[in-house]
Amino acid sequence: MIEVCGLKKYFQTGGMFGKKFIKAVDGVDFEIEKGESLGLVGESGCGKTTVGRLILRLVEPTQGKVIIDGTNLFELSKKDLRKMRKKMQIIFQNPDASLDPRMRIGDCIAEPLKLYKVVNKKKMNDKIMQLIETVGLNPEHVNRYPHELSGGQNQRAVIARILAINPEFIVADEPTSALDVNVQAQILHIIRNVNEKFGLTCLFISHDLEVIKIMTDRVAVMYLGKLVEIGKTDQIFNGTKHPYTKALLSAIPVVDPDVKRKRIILKGDMPNPINPPSGCRFHTRCQYSEKICEIEEPVLIGNGHKVACHLR
């Protein structure tokens, strides 16, 4: 259903003297099947949030295509783009900032209903109540302001609002990172139920691997603007082929005191995206790095389970 080809986004920085480019996304290709949930994992600075914005054209690309149901998103006129927007929605990370602080929750949810004339005025209230129930809010929340509700409740309101217009594709950008563990569980359940019930296609962006494991069918791992591995969730978690993914997985803290895990500690910090390392971007921190890794950039190859590494 969704095809991303050669997607690039460079942010310009630096003043009059010496323009520099932050290569946030530097050539990314992947596909998402209809009804599928693809996870996009990586640490801060890897570009996953930018990919999420690009795929909805909330940000203009430097290069590349995003093809949704046969149409290239970036070739649409402003008017057609707005029509397209009805099909695709996004859940942001910070629920308190995602809602207009001056609008009541009920009005927030009514907004898309009015904009797209989904229901007439008489049925508006019923539809809002229906949505409220789907996400587990109470009727009295409709009259409250966002700052009067908790983060979890606000995120539910955000989901209700998105569902109002029956989208086909949603991007969930770290939807629970700002929430407590228990609330996280509640919200993730709602997202999963909603995805199943309405057959939604989903791009689930997160840095939390355990969440990704549960919420996705396939996973793509990003590092410094590029995809390093992509495959079925099962394949990635139980049979990863890329050293970075291995390190990521080993870094997840585990509660079970009996599990003695050998942690792979990466050296140093993430390199600067203005000047990514030559060859394979990960080579500066990779424990298996060899000469070829410094010189030549590996390509994402494979059948179903793809990896970008010279030492596969």
Partner 1 sequence: MTFLSIQNLNVHFHTEDGAVRAVNGIDLDIEEGEKLGLIGETGCGKTVLGMAILRLLSENTTIKGRILYKGKDLLTMSDREIRRIRGKEIAMIFQNPLSSMNPVLTVGTQVAEPVELHQHLKKQDAMQKVIEMIKSVKIPSPHERAKEYPHEFSGGMRQRAMIAMGLICMPSLIIADEPTTGLDVTIQAQIVELMSEMLRDSGTSMLLITHDLAVAAELCDYIAMMYPGEIVEYASIRDLFKDPKHPYTMGFLDSLPGRGLKPIAGLSPSLINLPVGCKFHPRCSFATKRCKNNRPELIEVGKKHYVRCFLYD
Partner 2 sequence: MSFYLELTKNKPAMIGVMIILFLALIAIFAPYIAPYDPLELNLEERLLPPGTDHLMGTDNLGRDVLSRVLTGTRVSLSMSAAVVTIILILGITIGTIAGYFGGVVDDIIMRVVDVLLAFPGIILALVIAGLLGPSLTNVMIALGAIWWVGYSRIIRGSVLSIKEKEFVEAARAMGCSDTYIVIRHILPNVLSPVIVLATLDMGHIILSIAALSFLGLGAQPPVPEWGTMLNEGRPFMESASHLMIFPGLMIMIAVLAFNFVGDGLRDALDPRMREVTIK
Query: Can you give the binding site for partner 1, defined by CB under 8 A?
Result: 43-44, 150, 152-153, 180-186, 188-189, 207-211, 213-214, 247-248, 250-257, 263, 265-266, 268-270
Closest CB to partner 1 among 49 and 184? 184
Closest CB to partner 1 among 8 and 207? 207
Closest CB to partner 2 among 4 and 230? 4
86 binds, among partner 2, partner 1, none (CB under 5 to 8 A by kind): partner 2
Alpha-carbon distance of 76 to 82, in angstroms, equals 9
Instruction: Kindly state whether residue 199 participates in binding partner 2, applying the rule CB under 8 A.
Output: no
Closest CB to partner 2 among 91 and 270? 91
For the bound state, the minimum distance from the C-beta of residue 89 to partner 1, rounded and expressed in Å, comes to 23
Q: Phi/psi at 80 (nearest 5 deg)?
A: -65, -35
User: What radius of gyration do the chain's Cα atoms show?
Assistant: 21
**Helix, strand, or coil (residue 238):** helix
H or E element, residue 230:
strand 226-232
69 binds, among partner 2, partner 1, none (CB under 5 to 8 A by kind): none
Q: What is the DSSP string of 100-136?
A: -TTS-HHHHHHHHHHHTT-S-HHHHHHHHHHHHHHTT
Closest CB to partner 2 among 52 and 298? 52
Strand order in the sheet with 37-41: 88-91, 169-173, 201-206, 37-41, 218-223, 226-232, 305-307, 301-303
Residues 6 or more apart whose CB falls under 8 angstroms from that of 112 comprise 118, 161, 162, 164, 165
For the bound state, the minimum distance from the C-beta of residue 19 to partner 1, rounded and expressed in Å, comes to 22
For the bound state, the minimum distance from the C-beta of residue 140 to partner 2, rounded and expressed in Å, comes to 18
Segment 137 to 156, residues that bind partner 2, using CB under 8 A: 147
Instruction: Kindly state whether residue 101 participates in binding partner 2, applying the rule CB under 8 A.
Output: yes
Closest CB to partner 2 among 56 and 205? 56
Segment 79 to 98, residues that bind partner 2, using CB under 8 A: 82-83, 85-86, 88-90, 92-94, 97-98
Alpha-carbon distance of 260 to 154, in angstroms, equals 39
99 binds, among partner 1, partner 2, none (CB under 5 to 8 A by kind): partner 2
**Helix, strand, or coil (residue 259):** coil
Closest CB to partner 2 among 90 and 224? 90
Residues 6 or more apart whose CB falls under 8 angstroms from that of 55 comprise 2, 4, 66, 73, 171, 203
Residues that bind partner 2 (CB under 8 A): 56, 58, 82-83, 85-86, 88-90, 92-94, 97-102, 111-112, 115-116, 147, 158, 161, 165
